[in-house]
Amino acid sequence: MRPMPDANLISQVQVLRERGLSPKAIAKALKIRPAEAQELIRASAEQRDAVAPISPLVGCWLSAGWSCGLRWKGHSDWPADPGSTSDEPMLAQVLVARKHRYGEVTVGGFLVDAACLGVKAAMKPRQVEETELPQVVEMAFSAFDDGCRQVPLDLAQHLVLGAVDYARRLGFEPDPDYERCRPLLGEFTGPSEIEFGFLGKPYFVAGPRDDVQEIMATLRRTVGDKKFEFLVPVGLG
């Protein structure tokens, strides 16, 4: 059993996270190691989730093509969407909506790289009128040619939380806003039943905001050279 982090430090971390500070900035502010800062952030999130009430689910949506290169057993209600035969990993967009109050819903989302980096971006939870939800869903998936479909919440849990755990084993932390969105997924005992990576192997596809050199160096350190695939478009390397 791991020791409980200092309660005073957890409180300080909660304040700093509310101000939008990154894990590295929190480590510098508190004069602790980055690894300690990450552990405190996780403890803070666990503490928050333990006391936060779970609102009723309104809906959960997932982009088509999410299953590209992924494997799992069972779960016949999980849709294997077109795109799963692609030669390259595809990002998946997840959107979750829960009841708020007075005719409003809380909406938040995750952009998931299940092949390598985990949660690359998170859409901070916000409240909207329930009547506006269809427009919010449409906007959230506007960049995906094949749109989205409504899916069981447990699929979103296995995909998002499993991708975060997988990426952490590779040396990558999720987007700073991930912890704010995490409560929308509700309770999850885990572990995920999805086999992450592209056909079981880490596969890094560089995006315009990725630090290619740092990511490649991390993969070489954590999994070893020639034990992962990568695709770096011309001009990003």
Together in a domain, 71 and 19: no
Together in a domain, 85 and 162: yes
pLDDT, one tens digit per residue, over 15-67 is: 787 777 788 888 888 888 888 888 888 777 766 654 445 789 999 999 988 99
Together in a domain, 73 and 23: no
Together in a domain, 74 and 120: yes
pTM of the model: 0.78
DSSP, res 29: H
Q: Is residue 202 part of a domain?
A: no
Residues 229 and 202: their CA atoms lie apart, in Å, by 6
Q: Is residue 225 part of a domain?
A: no
Across 137-178, where does the E strand assignment appear? 148-150
Which amino acid is present at 85? T
pLDDT at 107 over 90: yes
- Domain of residue 22: give its range: 7-51
Together in a domain, 46 and 66: no
What is the model's pLDDT at position 234? 66
Tokens of 91: 């990002």
Number of structural domains found in the chain: 2
Dihedral angle computed from the Cα positions of residues 124, 129, 135 and 140, in that order, rounded to the nearest 10 degrees: 10
What is the model's pLDDT at position 105? 95
Together in a domain, 66 and 41: no
Together in a domain, 147 and 190: yes
Together in a domain, 122 and 25: no
Q: Which residues of 124-154 are buried (b: 16+ CB within 10 A; e: fewer)?
A: ebeeeeeeebeebbeebbeebeeebeebebb
